[in-house]
């Protein structure tokens, strides 16, 4: 059975959802700015110990997988950067997770971001997941086409515990899958 991959798909709904630091004000500003790669970014300041979650839900287009198709893997692509006020730059991390039926499920995947010092811009594209990675959960076509399916992103402090500013300009997803049955034309 052949494995296929969808094109990259954008999300249509973005929001800040309380995380472990919701009482300390580490909320995502302008969450909807993460919809398109256009220079406008969702951001969160002074992350320590961690930010709230940035929820990205409701696929803007159909993944084109027939009902009964088997999802084999998920890739989440982020166009992001971290602005830090100290040197040398340390590892900074964005944590990603799958949202199924409105709740975070499975295992987190952490990705590093570009670190920028002194107001420079150094955007980078980073990808979490892969062709055989389901983030420790199961996914069906019904799951991923539900309006409450998506990804969650959380900013973590750098290795020295400094609170940096994280920017996410674009979030998109694609799926690796096996298609069941064949369409024959005679």
Neighbours of 53 (CB within 10 A): 24
**Which sequence spans correspond to the domains of the chain?**
3-178
As a whole number of angstroms, the distance between CA 145 and CA 180 comes to 17
On average, the pLDDT of the chain sits at 84
Cα separation, 146 vs 144, whole angstroms: 5
Q: Give the model confidence (pLDDT) of 128-186 as tens digits.
A: 999 999 999 999 999 999 999 999 999 887 666 666 788 899 999 999 999 875 544 44
Pick the CATH number of 3-178 from 1.10.10.1100, 3.30.1600.10, 3.40.1350.10, 2.60.120.260: 2.60.120.260
């Amino acid at each position: 059975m052949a494995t296929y991959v969808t094109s990259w798909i954008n999300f249509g709904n973005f929001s800040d959802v309380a995380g472990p630091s919701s009482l300390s004000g580490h909320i995502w500003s302008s969450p909807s700015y993460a919809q398109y790669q256009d220079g406008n970014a969702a951001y969160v300041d002074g992350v320590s110990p961690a930010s709230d979650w940035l929820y990205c839900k409701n696929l803007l287009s159909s993944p084109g997988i027939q009902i009964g198709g088997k999802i084999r893997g998920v890739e989440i692509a982020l166009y992001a950067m971290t602005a830090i006020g100290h040197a040398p730059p340390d590892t900074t991390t964005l944590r990603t997770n799958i949202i199924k039926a409105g709740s975070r499920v499975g295992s987190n995947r952490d990705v590093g971001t570009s670190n920028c010092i002194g107001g420079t811009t150094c955007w980078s594209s980073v990808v979490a997941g892969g062709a055989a990675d389901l983030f420790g959960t199961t996914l069906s076509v019904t799951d991923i086409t539900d309006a409450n399916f998506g990804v969650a992103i959380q900013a973590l402090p750098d290795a020295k515990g400094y609170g940096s500013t994280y920017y996410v300009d674009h979030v998109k997803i694609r799926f690796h899958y096996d298609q069941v049955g064949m369409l024959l034309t005679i």
